[in-house]
Structure 1
Amino acid sequence: MPLVRIDALGCDVQRLEALGRAVQEALGAAMGYPEDDHFQILTGHDGERGTVRHGTYLGVQRDDGIGYVAITLRGGRPPAQKRALYRRIAELAQEHAGTEPRNVFVTLTENTDADWSLGNGEAQFLDDRP
């Protein structure tokens, strides 16, 4: 059950939705998440009321087409699966939203079962819940 946050500069609703769709499809393909396991926060920044910063780091030439994808999920996936996810997100972001792969910045934050409440004030992933 990942929680996805996407922040993109100069991004209209259609591009945000396309980026969200790309990430959701990649999570299914690379990590086996079902289609209805879909929790996303999509934010477009116009450069005036909100913005994002980017730079050239590790030889990647980013520009104002950048999209930051932050995914929080329960830990335990091997590096090869994470690499497949990054690659598939970049491919689908280009296909669905026209975002160049060099402008797709992804970060994963892992946590444990105890770190989630999906509603009703319960910790649904814990075995000891009432």
Structure 2
Amino acid sequence: MPLVRISHSQGRSQADRDALSQAVHQALVSAFAVPQDDYFQILTEHLPNQGLRFPKNFLGIEHGEEMIFVQITAAEGRSSEQKKSLFQGIVDRLNISLGLRKEDIFINLIETKRENWSFGRGEMPFA
């Protein structure tokens, strides 16, 4: 039941946006055993050099001109190994499908209690 936000620079083709979306989702399916139909995403385009800010170098990682930001809000309870698998799965898939540099993929995971989710009608299926 993750909610995924993917932010990228404007100008990507529909095929690229679809590949971004699918790469992150398939990594979630693989690493977190998310059901295939548990697919809630928000993709946001930003004007080049205006909406996304990042340093050229941070923690010894040299960033290129274009970063992809992936923020995932998910229920708590995954192990560190599952999280590592997710992060590596995302960067590997994006590198292979879009040729993105692994250094240019920023990932943030936010964990919440299962009771904090409603998928419609105001219902709380996990409360």
Identical counterparts, % of pairs: 35
Amino acid of the residue matched to residue 92 of structure 1?
A: R
Alignment TM-score, normalising by the size of structure 1: 0.90
Q: How does 1:40-119 map to 2 (within 5 A)?
A: 40-47=41-48, 50-55=50-55, 56-119=57-120
Moved over 6 A (4+): none
- Determine helix, strand or coil for the equivalent of 2:100: coil
3-state SS of 1:35 partner: coil
Higher strand share: 2
Distance in 2 of aligned mates of 1:76 and 1:109 = 11
Distance across 2 between alignment mates of 1:113 and 1:10: 34
Q: Could you tell me how far 1:113 is from its partner in structure 2?
A: 1.6
Q: CA RMSD in A?
A: 1.4
Q: Counterpart amino acid of 1:107?
A: N
Relative distance call for 1:11 and 1:2 in structure 2 (3 A) is farther
**TM-score if structure 2 supplies the norm length?**
0.92
For structure 1, the 5+ residue unaligned runs are none
Question: Shift of residue 11 of structure 1?
Answer: 4.3
Structure 2, unpaired ranges of 5+: none
**Per-residue deviation, 1:26:** 0.4
Q: How many residues align?
A: 125
Letter in structure 2 aligned against 1:123:
M
* In 2: Cα distance, 1:21 partner to 1:34 partner: 13
Note the 1:16-55 alignment, pairs <5 A: 16-47=17-48, 50-55=50-55
Q: 1:109 is paired with a residue of what secondary structure?
A: strand
